[in-house]
Amino acid sequence: MKKPELTKEYLQKIGQLNYELEPFNKNQAKTSNFSSILTQLPNKGIVRDKVVDLKTAIKNSGLKNGMTISFHHHFRNGDKTVKLVMEAIKELKIKDLTVASSSFTDAHNFLTSYIESGIVTSLQASGCRDTLGQFVSAGKCKKPLIIRSHGGRARAIESGDLKIDVAFMAASASDCMGNANGMMGKSRCGSLGYAMVDAQYAKYTVILTDNLVEFPNKVISIPQTHVDAVVCVEEIGDPKGIMSGAIRLTTNPKEEIIAESIAKIITSTDLFKNGFSIQMGTGGASLSAVKHLKKHMIEKQIKASFCLGGITSHQVELYQQGLVTSILDTQCFDLTAVESIYENDDHHEISASMYANPHNKSPFVNKLDFVILSALEVDVDFNVNVMTGSDGVIRGASGGHSDTAEGAKVSIICLPLIRGRLSCVVDKVNSIITPGNTVDIVVTDFGIAVNPLRKDLIEQLTTAGVKLKSLQEMKEFAKTIVGEPKPIDWDYSTPVAIVEARDGSVLDVIYKVKG
């Protein structure tokens, strides 16, 4: 059986959504049709205290079978809120729910049992990993997982494509009216960038906190005007779980070569000047490029205007050394960033919509000069996969990948040419997460390839003495070492996930892997 053509009729049949799916067209961006779940403005009279227990909050929300609930994943592997809420929902015997989290991490593997029991029948998120990813890839979900970028998710919520009935938001500090933040208390996660959008557009919003503070809260990330109930719990999450293995400097020689090449590319362009802006991904080579870049910035006395996106100690260090004027943060990736967003006035918390929603009036990604992004594989047409492994199993996250690749003036993808016994440069990626027309440069330990669409970059880098290769050359060289991989045996009768482009059209469909 051949891979089905992504026609509008086919997508509508497998999507089972409340809005129409359209195939991605790189030459014509789709426009959102606004249809919010909010059909009337609330009038709850005079409310002076919103604190209730969790089950009461759920009952008061009107949550019932078939509805959609949402969460944010700022605690990453340390999250304890989703399980807490789902256990209460189970006890209340509510079923057939769609769980739309900003992402799923290893902390959410327990959801497999909730799917098997029918309490959860659909998932929507930016990422899905580990046991839950394997479960979805095996076709064990009733409906395909909907995968959106961070900007695409914000767009979907604001447009009404993703209608959230009840949003459950973990906050490390909240007052009795729901003025909440993630910056104070024992369970700090920093920015609540994803939660901001959910809280604003959900029909009913519940704040869960383990730190009820005096009214009014000192820092208000989510305002009381967006909150219906406040629930006090023992623990919302473990901050130590925020930092995963992907967020680290590299000690790998291959990644060190890639990091040096990235710095060489950036410093060879005419955009490397005072006031430039940058986002770094979370991969080892991407973050390690910072130390090389910093050296050039100091030598040439160049200062950046801002760092964007998920923030780590590496960007905070640049700020503290006066090499970056401000930090714009949707998600803190380590505890240093968590400390910084509370203490530093120029470290700003921004929502996912401000960050990357393509259908608002100006997301921050459109002001980026450079973005450095990691990848699992890239194909000769510059399409990038960050979601499915070489075995076809879902084990990654779209995140802000496609948002920043499209918005930045120069998008740089970094990955090793060979990972394990497989080439990372291939004829066709297993899953398209970021379309090739938005990718400018691919850097491997074997060389640098510039998208032929960017003749200006080819000229600048060549003039600077940067040697370029084609992706075809890289693929062929890898082939001489590791040969041709055995193709994945997909079951095209069983779609397990739909990959939406940031404008809501469909980039790709992921299928069950046979065997």
Assess whether 159 and 288 both reside in one domain.
Answer: no
Residue 325 and residue 216 share a domain: no
- Collapse the DSSP code of 224 into the 3-class scheme (helix H, G, I; strand E, B; otherwise coil) and give the result: helix
**Where among 179, 212, 242 does a domain terminate?**
242
Instruction: Assess whether 469 and 326 both reside in one domain.
Output: yes
From first to last of the 515 residues of the chain, give the pLDDT tens digit. 889 999 988 998 888 788 888 999 999 888 887 777 777 788 889 999 999 999 999 999 999 999 999 999 999 999 999 999 999 999 999 999 999 999 999 999 999 999 999 999 999 999 999 999 999 999 999 999 999 999 999 999 999 999 999 999 999 999 999 999 999 999 999 999 999 999 999 999 999 999 999 999 999 999 999 999 999 999 999 999 998 655 565 668 888 999 999 999 999 999 999 999 999 977 778 778 988 999 999 999 999 999 999 999 999 999 999 999 999 999 999 999 999 999 999 999 999 999 999 999 999 999 999 999 999 999 999 999 999 999 999 999 999 999 999 999 999 999 999 998 899 999 999 999 999 999 999 999 999 999 999 999 999 999 999 999 999 999 999 999 999 888 999 999 999 999 999 999 999 999 999 87
Say if residue 121 is in the same domain as residue 215. yes
In a domain, 41, yes or no: no
Same domain (yes/no): 306, 233: no
Residues 237 and 274 in one domain: no
Domain span at residue 119 reads 49-242
Structural domain total, the chain: 2
- Residue 35 maps to a domain: no
Same domain, residue pair 278 and 221 = no
Pick from 200, 220, 242: which residue ends a domain? 242
For residue 416, give the 3-state DSSP assignment.
Answer: coil
From residue 502, alpha-carbon distances to 25, 44, 142 in Å are 12, 35, 24
Residue 387: count other Cβ atoms within 10 Å of its Cβ: 28
Give domain status of residue 7, yes or no. no
Distance CA 280, CA 181 (A): 25
CATH number at residue 149: 3.40.1080.10
Helices then strands, each counted (H, E), the chain: 15, 27
Same domain, 177 and 214: yes
Three-state secondary structure string covering 318-367: HHHCCCEEEEEEEEECCHHHHHHHHHCCCEEECCHHHHHCCCCCCCHHHH
Are residues 404 and 369 part of one domain? Answer: yes
Question: Quick one: which of 136, 1, 132 has its CA closest to 490?
Answer: 1
- Nearest CA among 95, 78, 77 for reference residue 86: 95
Is residue 505 a part of any domain in this protein? no
- Which SS3 state, helix, strand or coil, does residue 412 take? strand
24 falls within a domain: no
> What's residue 38's pLDDT?
72
Verify that 282 and 426 share a domain, yes or no: yes
Question: For residues 193 and 331, what is the distance between their CA atoms, to the nearest angstrom?
Answer: 6
The total of other beta-carbon atoms located within 10 Å of residue 109's CB is: 16
Whether residue 433 is contained in a domain is answered as yes
Model's pTM, two decimal places? 0.95
- Amino acid 188 reads R
Return the pLDDT at 166. 98
Residue 170's DSSP bridge partners are 208
* 325 and 454 together in one domain: yes
